[in-house]
Amino acid sequence: MPEKRPTVLVTDANRGSAIAIIRSLGRRGWRVIAADDSPRSLGFRSRYTARRLVYPPAEQAPRETVAALKAAAQAESVDLIIPVTDAVLLPLSEARTEFDGLCALAIPTLEQLEIVSNKLKTIELAQELGVPVPLTHVVETAAEALALPIEDWPVVLKPQASRLYRDQAAVERFEVTYAHNRDELARKMAEFEGRCAVLLQSYYPGEGHGVELLMHEGRPLAAFQHKRLHEVPITGGASSFRQSVALDRTLYEHSVRLLGALKWTGLAMVEFKVGAQGGKLMEINGRIWGSLPLAVFSGMDFPARLASLYVDGPPTTDNGPDTRYKVGVKARNVERDLVWIASVLLGRRRSGSLPVPGRREALVGMLGLLNPLTRSDLLAWDDPLPGLAELPAIVQKQIRKRTDRN
């Protein structure tokens, strides 16, 4: 009698990171259910998707999303659910006891999630462990911010939480922003008042680096590192174009110290800015990160390792973390990189004194779209449909945006 294939449900299947998980597990013969809030999800087109699930929009109807996932887990004998975004992760985490005895959830504990989703607690943990961080003040009102003796501009306004799950009713999103003078600081702080506390940080120029790790109870099992080549927005944000780089020993040790102190199990990315004073911690991303396809392209198959950890258990021998991967591999999120190119070419800077790329870099980026040696998050020879459907989906999305504006 053939051995039963494990069944894994992957949420947010329209994202490149989710599709990377679907492909990785599907190639190993696992049964994969792709789940999303859109019936047009690109992940539904993957040849490795065995079943499709459309759930309610998690940010507007989180409890209904959890109910849909639970029903699917029961009906499909799911072994593991992998949530990809905070919008699903937060409500699923709150409802974790409902899945006891039903299936495993690839999510951190409530205590771990509280620290990594709260930027102040992350900073406090880093300071306790001697991990360098930017100069930081916590403020809740414009008056508190203006009372600080700020001498160097710009300053970074980081909401204490990127997303808040309020009263199990909705998931509210907050964005990092910048202020270049006192008037701008007052105006932008007013937008946060009564909604979310803010970490006011000194701006630290440098290269964005991510150290990605698979951990088991604070022990590193595998590690990978990349640097950001393009970011959206252009003043700093999620990467649209990145490159695998050799593991930096100091950044790796900082990352392991942080996640080790949390007794972390699962995947996480520790983000740094590397500048004149070395690497400084920006945040800990305690969920699946957007540039995950780059790690897989480079030979670090985090999705398969993660699923095996939760379904089969941790390795029985300790041979140290696996750090074998190809250096110099480049990959882009096509939709986001088109936004980066357009933002630079059209001069959408509005950045004050922040360093931004020049138009020549955007022209190089346009030519780079045609470079066969650079990978796209969604293109794969053995699974072409998600990649082929990406450009039409981008065009349709832009048409919908213009229609909504009008």
Domains in the chain (CATH in brackets) are 7-106 (3.40.50.20), 135-202 (3.30.1490), 207-332+334-376 (3.30.470.20)
Residues with Cβ within 8 Å of 180's Cβ and at least 6 positions away in sequence, in order, are 153, 154, 352, 353, 354
Residue 394: pLDDT band (50, 70, 90) is: confident
- At 1 the pLDDT is 42
Residue 196: pLDDT band (50, 70, 90) is: confident
- How far, in Å, CA of 22 to CA of 155, rounded? 40
**pLDDT at 225 > cutoff 90:** yes
Kindly report the number of other CB atoms within 10 A of residue 372's CB atom: 5
Residue-wise DSSP of 161-190: -SEEEETTTEEEE---EEESSHHHHHHHHH
Kindly report the number of other CB atoms within 10 A of residue 38's CB atom: 15
pTM for the full predicted model: 0.93
Burial of 395 (0-12, 13-18, 19+ CB in 10 A): exposed
**pLDDT at 171 > cutoff 80:** no
Kindly report the number of other CB atoms within 10 A of residue 291's CB atom: 26
- At 348 the pLDDT is 56
- At 113 the pLDDT is 94
- At 351 the pLDDT is 52
**pLDDT at 216 > cutoff 70:** yes
Residues with Cβ within 8 Å of 313's Cβ and at least 6 positions away in sequence, in order, are none
Lowest mean pLDDT among 94-108, 209-223, 285-299, 354-368: 354-368
- At 133 the pLDDT is 96
Exposure on the CB side of residue 200, measured as CA atoms within 13 A? 27
Residues with Cβ within 8 Å of 280's Cβ and at least 6 positions away in sequence, in order, are 132, 133, 134, 204, 206, 272, 273, 274
